[in-house]
Structure 1
Amino acid sequence: MQVQVFSENAGRETLAHAIERRRDEIRRAWLERLRADLSGHDVDAAELVDLADGYIDRLTQLLRGGSPVERISAWTDIAHRYAVTGIRLGFDIEQVVREMSQLRSAVAAVLAAEGLSSDVLHTVLDEAIAASAAEFSRLANAHLREAEERYELLVAGAREYAIFLLDAHGRVASWNSGAERIKGYRASEILGQPYDVFFLPEDRASGEPSRLLAEARVNGEHKGRHRRLRKDGSVFWADVTLTAVFDDSGALRGFSKITRDATAQVEAEAEAMQRERLSAILESAVDAIIATDSSGRIALFNRAAERAFGCTAADAVGRSIETFLPGARLSSISEECSAHRPLPGLVADAGPFSTLEARRANGEEFPVEVTFAPTEIGGARYYAAIVRDISARVRAERARREAESRLEEIADNTSALIYIKDREGRFLLVNRAFERVFGLTRAQMLGKTDADFFSPDLVARFRESDLEVVARGSALTVEELVPVGGRLRTNLSVKFPLRDEDGEIYATGGISTDVNEQVEARDALEREGQLRELFVGVLAHDLRNPLNAIIMTSAALLARRGLDDSAVKNVERIANGAKRIAGLVDVLLDFTRVRSGAGIELQLRAASFHDICRHVVDEAAAAQPTRKIECSFEGDPAGEWDAVRIAQVVSNLISNALAHGRADAPVSVNVRGTSSEITLEVRNANVGAPLAREQIDRIFDPFTRGSRTGGRGGLGLGLFIVDQAVRAHGGAVRVESDAERGTAFVVTLPRHPRTP
């Protein structure tokens, strides 16, 4: 394409006309180029269109005439608007020139498409660029000066903040009035000094100043709350922002530092936290807590107080504490609390007491324990009352006193000695019988110990049993010798612990009864029994030799020939009588051995329990042919026993059943064997009522005899020997008796007893 070149005067109108005709194309081309450069900026499209039209209007106007001075002046308005937009978008001078060059290129490209070109056009466009750059530079400088002035005013007037600069080595490079007020240094004193003078010695020793500068240099800034040092040595809390400052090449120029004194805030936060913790404690407290100001008006009323007094905190706050504690005197509370003596309670006209009468919102009065203590909240003085409802305790104490009064009345009207001692053995209570027996008054005994009245050996015994009661925590029955009327008498004492409401033993009580006559009678019976047992043993021993002689002589006579029938019968009666007496002697000797502690001797051999029982049953059936004996055998009969003793057990039980059972009812003998033991049961039908528990409890005692269905009674040692023989085998025997099934003796024996 051929480009037409016009003279300055002839071509101006042509160029202006061509630009107006192709305005939209020029605007579109410039805006497309602008949008590519301005991506990411907050730019209004309508604003850009308006700027483009403004430049095109001025361009066509200036092409049609005007001197260079007039042309530059004509650009001022549109260049100002563009400069304002550029400053808002953060342009620098280079970007302004670049964007205006884009306009020049867009106009030239469109006109070149029509074959038009002119030096005048380029001159005018260059003037537009120059005007825009000049206006932008002027505005930017004006904004910069204004910002610098505002910054200087801000820094100088910011007394709440220390704002200053550090050079790249951490030395103070600037100082404002806020820094002087907060840190205490004048500018002349601190400029050029290392900024570590603001750090505590321990922080300097740990290298914290260098570490914070390095953190700001790497991350751009450091923010934190630290303890810092003033010129006068005082310590304060500081909120610090330390920012690294770099030049356009990225080189570190220094640091800006903004410090705010946060001491008041830290203290306020600590106080608020303390109040929160205190509030949480107060609200969770079991006791009612009421805080009053110096005038006695309630300032705090916790939840426990709401429950105790039946009043909400909202209703209680602001009212006088005397509403709920009518007897409390503020003047006394204040005086005592000022002396730092927390009180258990204060009552009007009566001084300090441990309890007060409190009043609920409904007017009901109840006893409380109160402790007053001074406190400070936010610099103001308050008095805290810790109130505990002791209604239950008072009722319990009243009931205890009433019970003690009744107990004392009962104790004073009994012949037994009744007393109470504390843990140290001091008498707390004695009854009238105690006074009468020992010839002492209560006034003489209360608060004293046994050592004040009795001999050392008796005191030691009394104290030992008292301490055993405390150690066991349960009652103890003991016989004690007590000096009465110049001689020792035996008392049966029941000693027991006394516990408080918490279950702790606080004392021991005792009830002592004179049993001297009973003890003497018991001792006499024991001596008599011992003599009887000795006599029995001697008698049995001395009878054995003549009995053996009679039995042997009878046997010899029966072995002779030539005796008539009458003589044989007489000798047989003599022999049988001697054998029966020998059996009784054996029983007496067994009894003597058991009572002496030697026990029954066993000769263990392998045996069949069934065979032993059959042999004894056959003998019993032959001896009493009119009675019926039923037998049953189950299980393995083998084991190790003393066959003679087992036969004695079975024989005694069958004889006992025949003697004490109904004559028209059979006696049953049942043997059952398991893998480890043998059970023998001998049962008969009752004559009359079944055995009572008292009879069963002593049925195996020696010399115990029951009623018989006929014949003469024995020595009362048969069941005693049964029990001892079974025990010697490691077994047990028990008695069952009821109206339906009769009475049974059940013996359980191990198959292989352990020999002692």
Structure 2
Amino acid sequence: MATHEPVAGTGGRLRLCDFIREQRALILEEWERAARVLPEARRLSQPRLVNDLPPLLEQLADRVEDVHTGNQGSLEEWPEIHALQRLDVGFDLEQVTHEYALLRTCILRLYGQHLGREGGRDTETLLREVERLNQLFDEAVGTAVARYSRARERTLVALDRISEAALGTEDLDTFLERLLRVVLETTEAVDSVTLLLREGEVLRARASVGLEQEVATGFQLRVGEGFSGKIAAERRPLEVRSAAADPLVRSEALRRRGTRALYGVPLITGGEVVGVAHMGSITAFEFSNEDKLLFRAMVSRASALLVQTRLASREREAREAMRTGEELLRLVIEQSGDAIIVTDERGVLRIFNVEAERQHGVSRQQVAAPEWTATYGLLDLEGRPLALEATPLYRALHGETVTEARWKVRRPDGSVRILNGTASPVLRPDGTPAGAVISARDETERLLRESERSETLALLDSLLSTAPIGLAFVDRALRYVRVNRMLADMNGTPMEAMLGRSVREVLPGEAGASLEPLLRQVFETGEPLREREVAIATAADEGRVHHYLLSIYPVRDARDVVRWVGTVVVDITERQRTEEELRRAAEFRERFLGIVSHDLRNPLNAILLSANALMRADDLPPRHLKPVRRIITSAERMGRMIGELLDFTRGRLGGGIPVSPQHLNLRHLVRHVLEELEAGHPGRELRLEGSGRFEGEWDPDRLSQVIGNLVKNALDYSPEGTPVRLLLHDEGESVVLEVNNAGPPIPAELLPTIFEPFRRLTRDSPHPASGLGLGLYIVEQIVRGHGGTLSVRSTAEEGTTFTVRLPRTRGGPSPSP
């Protein structure tokens, strides 16, 4: 690879600060070539990768020159800004720190080549310049790591809160209000958050916290117009200062409020802009880079949850329509203005509705086949008894379609009614009779009954044709006798082609095979199946699998025998797809946490080793002791946080936290842990009580972690001067350890979720927690790994007591708490 020769300045040998200024272009070119080996850097354009470095080089040159001027400056905000920008494009912490290492290497290598050509110079000054450069890079790395970690933690906590806001609600407006309140409470300097949803080419204010009048007044604007419209049209974030006076801002509510900083981002899902969210402040003229990064991350998560909530709302509406459809179908049969009579191929009655009972003057329980004609006294129009062969039912059972027939019925009370109706055969695909259906109306009240019949049929037709769900009836042979257009479209088969065909013929293969047992189950048991989820591939979507919500219910005749089976089908494919995407995203997040936590240990160990080496150095200036101690303390805290994240990942994805049991005395182990804690908490009393046998098979390192965590919590959440008591109980096959403190009780509403991850207690404490909220979760996982249980009780009288029950061996009993 060709190397670029640095050009000396007019003065021959250059000071390091002057070299950085004059050779800035060469340094940047060398650094870019080296940085392109990073996977994430390959995706960035040249300006996005390099444009932020010239200010850093200028600051480095000024600070190195302090060696000659005696000034003591700092790198100001650049390392923080750089860390946030790299987090936004997907860099991990190792890649961020690696960029600094590459830049330092490029500067020193090129400067060494320059000195080699131009000759040596004062060695002492040269070493002081190099030392100053290294100090500056250490400062930059420390600042970048701290800001990256803090921003990453804020982002993860905010995303978890947004996910929690979406749980337990299917109402869109309730979800939006919860979502915006999470955003408002999470971001700094923000006093208003507004969400506009897209409806065609219009953006309409749907929810707001701080600017509720925008929703109340129905504020809206077109895509491309104003602040929010420009964001939706250009599909990128936008920020303005002094929003109250900016002509781009069209909202009168923002102007009246005196909003200064205004920042908005588009909501994009599936490549489509579904809305715009913006946050405002009346105190700040611009938002920090960290707040803008956090806002973009939260809006991105909210976009997916918004789609899920919309789908849930639509599904709820479909279910309500499905229940309404089922009820209406039953009402159509039972409350029809026509008498509806259905028989099987043997002439046995299967359906005899209320109107049939009224016309014939008998109840359905009194109907007995095949002598029903004699029971009802069928007459011709002259009043003579009607021969069996002349009855509409007999003719329909023998294949004849009878239209507009009239006959009389002599009812048991002696009254006679004139009926006008039709009789039709029901044929199997092979042409053999399967039954008959009669529809008759009372001619005496023809006009009234005809009007009712028209209304009922119109209602039925409207339901079947416009219902957003699939509806169908099948007979005992599992052949379709009635379907609507929606179901035909789902199956990819014309509605006319489905009638008379079996389920297997319309849905060949696994689809029909999976549906047939469900339909037969309803026929055999007479019990409905409600909201059963099935996965079926049909011809409607080129054989792709769709997920359906299926309800099946029986249709009974007067003898309470299931004659037909009705089905109601709702397509929930999109909801299933969204839920699967969210599940994969959650699993990826937890795996990502484990990988990041593991890989962070290498650079963190390097920071600790370097900082400890500086502390042991004899020539370390006194003014540097405090920054070095701060680096060591922060790095050790990060190490503990990384350990908790690794244990959390093992507990979630690795089948539990692993333990390595060995024979030990639990009392001795507890005493050893207490001695270490006493050294770090002078003045606090730690009491250990207990008598009996406390040997067992346990992992000493993991149990030390359990004891240390519980005792430290007890110290943190109890007043100075009060003791922390530890009690050991010998219970035969198990050993019990209790840790008690006299601090304020844990609120009752927090007890059910105290062992969940990322939970922190909100009680007053002289030592507020600074971890990730994983301590008690990891403690419970370790206890479970030993086959034991962990419980807690907390009252104002007794204080707070955590109880650990451990079987003496892993295969021993695990008593319930």
**TM-score, length of structure 2 as denominator length:** 0.35
Bigger relative contact order, structure 1 or 2 (CA pairs below 8 A, ≥6 apart): 2
Larger radius of gyration: 1
